Structure 1
Amino acid sequence: MTVWNIIMVILLVLFLWMYIDFTLGRKNHLKKLERTNCPIRQSDMEMFTDGPALFKDLFSEIRNAQKHIHILFYILKDDKISQEFLAILKGKAKEGVEVRLLLDWVGSFPVKRKTVKDLKSSGIKFSFAHVPKPPFLFYSFQARNHKKITVIDGKIGFSGGFNIGKEYINKDPKLTPWRDYHLKFQGEGVHDLQREFLVDWYKATKTDLLADSIYFPELHTGKYKHQLAAYKGAFMEESFSSIIRNAKKSITIGTPYFIPSKRLFQDLSHALKRGITVKILVPCMTDHVLVKEASYHYLRKLLKQGAYVYEYLNGFYHAKAIIIDDETSDVGTANFDKRSLFLNYEINCFIYDKEFIQKVQAVLDKDIQNAKRLTLKELNRPDPFRTFKEMLARTVASFL
C-alpha cells in the first residue's frame, strides 16, 4: 500500500469517526434536553454599542459589588484589558465578595494554567465550561457555551455580544472599530440571568446554588417588558421562525454570520412573497475564514426576491439583533447561523416594549447608514476563487 493510500484510509477513518461521534452525540444531547421558558419580565434596560463605554460601566459596577459576582464569558483573552478585568475580580475576592468566573474552554483557551491557579489562590471560584469529554469527544468539542452573562449582587445584569479582549475596545488594527450590542438589566429580568448562570455553573462544577435565596434578592418591576430565552443547541430555530412568520410589515436582521437553517431561509423567502420588507445587515470585513462565502448562497437567493442586504463598512459588525415590525425585537448572544441554532448554548432577550424597540431600531438604522448595499450584480460577477470558497464553505457551514 502506497503512502497516499494510507493517508486516504486514515482520513476516511477520521471522517467516519467524526460523523458517528457527532451524530450519536447530538442524538444523546437532544434525548436528555428539556425546554425551559423564562417568564415575561419588566426591567430597566440600557443598550451599549461601544466597547469602551460598556466596560467602563461594567467594571464600575463590579467594583461596587457588595456580596457576589457571577460572570460567564465565551472569550477571555490574555491581553491588557483581560488582565485589568481579572485584577478587579481578584481585588473583590480579597475584599470578601463571592466571585465566580466561568469561561468556555475553547473560546478562552488562551487562559493559562498559571492564571487559573492565581485566580483560585486569590479566592475566586473558577471553572471552564464545556470541557470536551468522551464518549462523544468531537460533538462536545463543537457544542460551545457562547453565552455572556454578568450578575452583580443579584440586582444588576449584563448580556450581549461583547467578550473580554482588546478587539472589543477597538485595540485590534484589523477589526477596529468593533460594533456590538450589549444589554444592561436592573429589575425582574436579573433573576433569569442569575438562574441561567447558576445552571451553567452546576453543569461545570456540580455545585447546586439554585435554591439559595441569597442569590435571588427581591427586585423591582422595571419599565420595559421583555423575556429572556436560554438555548442549549435546540429550540432557537422555532423561536426565530415564530416571530418571522408573524411579521406584518418588516423584518430587520443584524448578524455577523448569516447562515440560516433551511426552515428559517424558507420563512424569510415566504415573508418576501407576502410583501414583507426584509433587511439584512452583515459585516463587510470578516473575522473567520469562509463565513462570508457561506452566506452568499442564501443572500443571492433572497436578493433575487427583493431583500435588501447591507455590508457594514465602519469597522467590524459583530452585533446580533432582529426586529419584527415595531412589536418584537431580539438582542442577544446568538448569531443567525447554524452553529448558534443547533450547537452553541446561547441566551437572547426578546423585547416587547415599543419604546425600547425604537431605540434598537435607531441603532440598526444608524448602522445601515454606515453600510453599502450589496447587489445581485456584484454577487454574480465571475470570480473563480470566490466560487471555490463558496463551494468549500457549504460543506462545513454547520461548523463555521
Structure 2
Amino acid sequence: MNISTLDLALALAPHGLDAVLSFDQPASLDRADVLVWDPAGLYPVLEAACERADPPVLGVGASEWLLATSRHWREQFKRLLAAGGTLVVLVPAPRTVGVHTLQDILPYDWSDPLMPRTVRSQAIEGDAAPQQAGEPFRTLFTEAARCFQPCATLAAAPGASVLQTGSGLTLASYASEPPGRLLLLPALAPGLAQDEAGAALFLRELCRCIDRLGQRSGVRLAAWLDLQRSPADEQLHGRRAQCLRERHALDLELQELDRAMAERDFFKQLLAGEGLGAGLAAAEVFRRKGVPVHADWVEKDLHIVELDQRNLLVKARLAGEPLDAAALRRLDEARARVTDYFSRPTPILVVDCADNALPPSARSPHWDAATLAGLEDAYMLSGLHLYGWHLETPGDSPSRLLQRLMQADADLRDSLLRATLRGLSPLAAA
C-alpha cells in the first residue's frame, strides 16, 4: 500500500511513506493508494500571504494562486478516488481567509478542494469526549486513541458519522465512493507527528482500518486476520489496485478522446450544422487563428473580427434564411454602426451554411456572385470553404484571407474546398 501525506510530515523511518507532499507545490497522486491530508498545514502559508490581517484577506496574486492550486488538488483527489484510493482528511479548527474574485472578496474554507462535496466544520463547544462507533472504526479509535485530539466537529459531511461527541456532534465520518473511500478524521494530537512511536501507531492502525473497509459487502472478519495476510492475498490486493489504476487511466484516455471528438464535431457545424452553432463555429475559427472576436452587441447572429487595419463583420447564413433586400439592408446597417463605433473600415463576410443538410457532392458547384449585389465591400464563403480554411496550417492569417477575397483570388475557393474534402475523406479528394 503506497501511502503519501499532504502537509503532514510524520517522524517515520526512511521509506515509511511513499511521498511527503506540500499543498503549495502541486504534484501528482498517481502513485498513491492512500493520501493523508492535514489542511491546517496550509494556514501558515496563507497567513504570510495576507494583504490584510483583520479580517484576513489575500492579495489578488495570492488569491489567484490559491484558487488555481485548489483546483489542482481537487482534480488529484478525484483521480485518487476514481483509482480505488483512500483520501484521509484530518479535520482542522475552522478558519477562513478572504480571496479576491472578479466580483467580490469571498471566504475560502479549508474544505474547498473537496468540492462538490459539502463539508463544514465548527469549533468544539463543551464536552468532546468521543463515543465509539462500529467496526472497523472502533478498533482505530480505541487502539490509536492517544493519536487524536479533535479541534472541530463536522456540521456537514458526506457519508456516515463514525465518531461522535457525548452530545451527538460528528467528529469523524466515512463515505464510500466506489471504488474509492473518503475518511474525515479528527486532528492529530499536538506533537504526535514528531513522535516516532506515535506516528507509527497512527499509520499502522489507519492502514489496518482501511484494509478492513475493503469492498466485500456483508463480510465481517475478526481483526486478527488483518495481520495474517498471505502472499496470495497480497498478490490479489496488489493486482486489484493495479487494475483500478489501469481502469482509471483508460477513463482518462476516453475523456480525452471524447473531448477531441467533440471539438472536431463543433467545427464540423460549418459544413453540416443546421443550428445557431454554425455561427459560433465560424467565430471560433477566426479566434483560433489568433485574432480577437466579439459577439455584436445588437445583432446576436453577427460577430466582429478585429484585424490589423480593419474589422470584419461575420454572418453565418442558415437554412431558410433569405439574402433578400431586407437581409442585406440589415447587414449594411450593422456594418455602418460597427464602423462608426470603432472608426475603422468594416467589410462583411457571409458564411453560407444554407445547404448544410446536403452532402458536399449534392451542393451546387456554382458561385452566384450576384447574391450580395448592392452590398459594397461584402464577400461570401460557404461553410465548406471556411472549414477548409480552419483545417489549414496557421500560415494563412485572417488578414491574408480577407486580402485574397478583396482581390477576387480565383484559386481561393477551390483550394479551400480541396482542404475540406481531404479532411473529410482521403477518397473524396482523390
TM-score bucket (shorter structure): under 0.3
Larger of the two Rg values belongs to structure: 2
TM score, norm. by length of structure 1: 0.21
TM score, norm. by length of structure 2: 0.20
